[in-house]
Amino acid sequence: MSSNLVAHFLYSALPDLILWDAHRVYYYYRNFTISGTMKTQEREENLSSLSDGSKIHNVIVDRFGSILIKMENNVMFFSKTDITDIIKLHIWANSTIKSALYFNRSAKVYLLYFSEIYLMQRQEYPLFLEIESSVYRSDDRCPYLAFQHNIFSDFYFIDKGETLTIWTQIVYKENMGLSIIIEHYGPNILTWTQDLSYEIASGLCTKTMYTTFSQTTNYELVKDYFKDKNTGLMLVQFRPSQFSKTCPMAKQVGDWKIRYDVGKYGCPRRLEFNEPFHPIIELYDENGFVKIVEANFIVWEIHGRNDYTFNYTMKQSGCINEAQTFKSMIEENKDLPLDDVWGPQNYKTCFSYAVGKPGDLNQPYEILNHSNKNHLLWPMDHSGMYVFRVRILDPNFSFCNLTSIFAIETFGVIPSPSVYLVVAFLFVLMLTFISILVLSYFWYTKIYRQFIFEPLHKPPTKLKKN
């Protein structure tokens, strides 16, 4: 019987590939050295038999290795890169509803529902909670507590004489014996050194590793400078030595170092992390202030930060069709630098039936002006320095390319206390309280014992008669 196969390469250094037909998912891991068919814990590989005969509708994969399998009747299964078995998730949607799945850039899962009445609706799917609920009674547990790194880009370019240092850390229970593994694929054009440190406290082991990549080739000694094969693409992946389906995705940790010219742009405006911000744009010429700009404008963070958002959605702003966003404009203008992908030359309104196309109107609306109520919102779990460039977007406002730069510094975030610090504090507090009770007991016992042998009111003694 013939069957159509769909292939998808996973995000990994060593080539990892999955294929699927209408009933099964096949895997080829570690450069095709490990292969087979994904099975449940009951050793069932035909997913249709576990889904009332339904066929595989789609398989989606995120950049962190999560594999989500959706059947036509909305039954879903989950697995991860380099994992050979799958788990069946709890029923989330009615089997008759037309739906689709997708991951956003933050690896959050969303379900899109289609109907003739409401057209399209979006709902966030709590994938990690559903996984925890599905494996609650099983022995599938993540062997580590945390795995984090400072890798913020998919690509790094290293020139001659340059180095690249990657920080990784894994935290696990003592005596588990985990480690951090480096996998690489492609030409051996780089060498690296490692600096590994250990820390054991309160039954937990923390391993921290600094890996520095560089090139040691001496180009003065090569025979043919232009034909020397020391350039190319080398794929590198950092991963724990053990993992499971229930492990959370690796957390990116790092500090952004922002260079901001205070003398040129002025002091940044300081805002509390929970304070929305609506920029007011003023126009100046050589004679001074001209007017307040009421036209549409856009802002973007020049260092690539994207941990901010807007309080208004396209729907709340009154859009009829899907509005332009920096993400969509970057995809349309891949050959242009970020400063040129969006401006008055290619602006399209979202308030006309004749312009644009229907889409997801629940996305943030990224266009601001003097009169709308759209504001910038900041992350609630960390402070930061944001350097924004602003551009007038209205094509009818001016022949000039009007831009400027301003900066926002957020503050006031209260860091989450360490669990171990809280437990230690409570233990010390309880120990102090119990010690005071014990000391009080002995103190009052001593006082009352003295009253027993020495009464508080002694009877008067009789005077002897002479």
What H or E segment, with its residue span, contains residue 100? Answer: strand 98-103
Q: What is the C-alpha separation between 282 and 293, in angstroms, rounded? A: 6
Query: Please, what is the average pLDDT of the chain?
Result: 86
Q: Residue 202: what pLDDT? A: 81
Alpha-carbon torsion, ordered 99, 314, 395, 345, to 10 deg: -30
Helices and strands (H, E) in the chain, number of each type? 4, 26
- For residues 183 and 14, the answer to whether their CB atoms sit within 8 Å is yes
Residue 227 pLDDT > 70, yes or no? no
Residue 446 pLDDT > 50, yes or no? yes
Q: What is the pTM of this model?
A: 0.54
Alpha-carbon torsion, ordered 366, 368, 371, 373, to 10 deg: 40
Spell out the residues 6+ positions from residue 155 whose beta carbon is closer than 8 angstroms to its own.
Answer: none
Radius of gyration, alpha carbons of the chain: 32
Q: How far is CA 108 from CA 141, 164, 268, 313, 388, in A?
A: 22, 29, 32, 18, 26
Q: Residue 422: what pLDDT? A: 72
Spell out the residues 6+ positions from residue 218 whose beta carbon is closer than 8 angstroms to its own.
Answer: none
Mean pLDDT of 32-61: 93
Q: What is the pLDDT of residues 404-442, one digit of tens each?
A: 999 998 887 655 555 567 777 888 888 888 888 888 877
The DSSP letter of residue 133 is H
Q: What is the pLDDT of residues 189-201, one digit of tens each?
A: 899 999 999 888 8
Closest CA to 70 of 56, 80, 84, 81: 56
Q: What is the pLDDT of residues 313-358, one digit of tens each?
A: 999 999 999 999 999 998 898 888 888 899 999 999 999 888 888 8
- For residues 195 and 210, the answer to whether their CB atoms sit within 8 Å is yes
Beta bridge partners of 126: none
Mean pLDDT of 46-73: 92
Q: Kindly state the tokens that stand for 144.
A: 């580590």
pLDDT interval class at 1 (50, 70, 90)? very low
**Phi-psi bin for 221: left (phi > 0), alpha (psi -120 to 50), beta?**
alpha
The CATH number fitting domain 146-252, selected from 2.60.40, 3.40.50, 1.25.40, 1.10.10: 2.60.40
pLDDT interval class at 453 (50, 70, 90)? low
For a pLDDT cut of 90, what percent of the chain falls above it? 45
- For residues 247 and 142, the answer to whether their CB atoms sit within 8 Å is yes
Alpha-carbon torsion, ordered 392, 395, 398, 404, to 10 deg: 10
Residue 2 pLDDT > 80, yes or no? no
Mean pLDDT of 36-61: 93
Spell out the residues 6+ positions from residue 96 whose beta carbon is closer than 8 angstroms to its own.
Answer: none
Q: Kindly state the tokens that stand for 343.
A: 């401006």
Q: Where is average pLDDT lowest: 74-78, 160-164, 213-217, 264-268?
A: 264-268
Q: What is the pLDDT of residues 107-131, one digit of tens each?
A: 788 888 887 776 788 888 888 888 8
Q: What is the pLDDT of residues 248-287, one digit of tens each?
A: 777 666 556 666 777 777 788 999 888 999 999 999 888 8
Mean pLDDT of 164-187: 92
The DSSP letter of residue 354 is T
Closest CA to 238 of 174, 192, 189: 192
Most confident of 93-97, 242-246, 296-300, 302-306: 296-300
54 or 132, which is more confident? 54
Closest CA to 145 of 248, 244, 282, 64: 248
